[in-house]
Structure 1
Amino acid sequence: MPRLIAVVGPTATGKSALGLALARHLGGEIVNADAMALYRGLDVGTAKPTPAERAEVPHHLLDVLDVTETASVAAYQRDARAAVEALLAAGRTPVLVGGSGLYVQSVVDDLEFPGTDPVLRAELETELAAHGPGALHARLAAVDPAAADVVLPGNGRRIVRALEVIALTGRPFPARLPAGVVPRYDAVLVGVDRPTDELDARVARRVARMFAAGIVDETRALEAAGLRDGLTASQALGYRQILAGGPMSTAAADTVRATRRFVRRQRSWFRRDTRVHWLDAAAPDLLGRALALSS
């Protein structure tokens, strides 16, 4: 029987290439686990697979949101699990590929994510815009002191989510992931990484390719389609720096720095999971090692 394989790790390590190779060899299909690749039009900056690659190996959960929509882990979890379970039922190998740690864990583990209420969310976001995150954080501290200790006072979006969950469920906000979560699938987690100096150089080259490949024009077109209004999509690396204005050389340099910081956060997230089998992304027999783990 096929198993779920998750290919995880920091940006620019080569996860997509390994995921495609595994899917080809195992008769599988890719399930995207990159939060920003959910968005239509965020193509250059997310290094989406080419049309040829998508024609050769089916991909799921790419291009499913408009840039004005807010991504939801709960919605992603529902749709990704549906894709995984349909593939397993059909005897196909689902290959979950991406560096969004919470999205990966929402699939492979039994985590519960409360839903959303658009009206309540809109009310809280209006209040956030009018009064700032400090006022909402004070309210959070009054109703859930433990959550307020974890959620930063300046993180308006997370404060809004905490207040929304508390109002919807009548329970405290789960600001930290629960310990000892139960795996949902007999999954194999394959991590790929590279030495920090090497990965820093790869990030710089990746950003240079993004700007050469037209991310500025792509951003301007998406801006006309409402990118600035998208709470999630507007924060995508590269796009956020271009939207900030100023010389594009500055935007590119800022993107490199922001991506390197993101890489370190990704590495920290995935290294905490002792189930991940780490492989050197530069190893000449990388595919063979990953296939051995998957058998």
Structure 2
Amino acid sequence: MIKVVAIVGPTAVGKSALGLKLAKKLNGEIISGDSMQIYRNLDIGTAKDSPEELIKVPHHLVNICDADQRYTVKDFQSRAKTIITNLSAKNKLPLVVGGTGFYLSSLINNLNLGGKKDDNEYRQELVELENSGQIDKLQAILKDEDPLAFQQIDLENSRRLIRAIEVMRSTGKSITEQNNGQKWADFYLVGLTDERPKLYQRINDRVDKMVQMGLLDEAKYVYDNRDNLPQAKNGIGYKELFPYFEGKASLESCLEEIKKNSRHFAKRQFTYFRNQMDVDWYNISDDKNYQIDIESNILKFLGGKDD
């Protein structure tokens, strides 16, 4: 069976750095599980690896779409499965790095996500609600049609709401229960975590570094083109700066909002992976040899020998 390693955990914990190191040592290639890194010209706010890093290790599902294109979990699932299958055939280790719990769950569990992304007669209705900022109406629809998903998915993410509604309407089953029972690949999930104060400081430092790298210019591009960028305009790191561009808030307060939302997102990520998936967790502060331990356990998973 195809073997896949996935590196998960809260934002800013060091997943990308670990993925690069493992890819080099274990003859692997990286598949981004991030829903925003697929977009060209959105580099800083999405925390992409540097151009040099993207060259040193082959990356997949990075810079493959223009920012005005819609990208769904179904797109990710389909493309990632094809890439993983092709890499495995070449005796390369597929390393899925980062992303949301739902994206990874769709891949691991081979979720039935309904028909083609554009064949649902209700899609336009839902997209119009999203574009007009009526997320409360999307939430109400989901609560009425799929109470189970309403309790489990991120209710502030309009794309997740739309997909959950579509899946229920097209399959008659909750998106949280979708699993066709066919295991198509064997996954080993490496989870990175850290003590909360240290993690939060890492998040704050990352935001400050993003500003130094030019986050404001990138966010201004998103703001100026927000009517044509339905996904980017809702991304953490961009949307919080809109009040600054409109002269309604100070830069300092907007940056604090980015840090706060990033911390909340990190907490949600950790909670999801801890409760919904079988993850082998490594605390990067408690275990000074965590990278050695991870590599050893991956080799065991792959059937190799531990040196």
TM-score, normalisation: structure 1 = 0.86
- Equivalent residue letter for 1:254: E
Greater Cα offset, 99-108 or 197-206: 99-108
Distance in 2 between residues matched to 1:50 and 1:131, nearest whole Å: 33
* Structure 2 residue aligned with 1:122: 124
Q: Does the aligned pair in 2 maintain the 1:33–1:98 contact within 8 Å?
A: yes
Distance in 2 between residues matched to 1:128 and 1:76, nearest whole Å: 20
C-alpha deviation, 1:264, in angstroms: 0.4
* Structure 2 residue aligned with 1:80: 80
The secondary structure found in structure 2 opposite 1:44 is coil
Please give the per-residue CA displacement for 1:84-141, whole angstroms capped at 9, x wherever unaligned.
1100000001111003111122222221112322664224433666795666666667
* Structure 1 residue aligned with 2:266: 263
C-alpha deviation, 1:187, in angstroms: 1.8
C-alpha deviation, 1:158, in angstroms: 5.2
TM-score, normalisation: structure 2 = 0.83
Distance in 2 between residues matched to 1:52 and 1:271, nearest whole Å: 33
Please give the per-residue CA displacement for 1:220-265, whole angstroms capped at 9, x wherever unaligned.
23444x3443222112111111123332211110000000000000
- Equivalent residue letter for 1:276: V
Does residue 1:20 correspond to 2:17, yes or no? no
Name stretches of at least 5 consecutive residues in structure 2 with no aligned partner: 300-307
* Structure 2 residue aligned with 1:291: 295
Name stretches of at least 5 consecutive residues in structure 1 with no aligned partner: none
Superposition RMSD in Å: 3.0
Change (3 A) 1:124 1:221: closer
The secondary structure found in structure 1 opposite 2:37 is helix
Change (3 A) 1:155 1:97: closer
Q: How many residues align?
A: 291
Change (3 A) 1:206 1:121: same
The 5-angstrom pairing of residues 133-282 of structure 1 reads: 144=145, 146=147, 150=151, 160-167=162-169, 169=170, 171-178=171-178, 183-224=183-224, 226-245=225-244, 246-273=249-276, 275-282=278-285
Please give the per-residue CA displacement for 1:11-43, whole angstroms capped at 9, x wherever unaligned.
011000000000000111000011121111221
Greater Cα offset, 41-50 or 146-155: 146-155
* Structure 1 residue aligned with 2:59: 59
Change (3 A) 1:17 1:139: closer
Q: Does the aligned pair in 2 maintain the 1:111–1:181 contact within 8 Å?
A: no
Distance in 1 between residues matched to 2:280 and 2:149, nearest whole Å: 35
Change (3 A) 1:140 1:28: closer
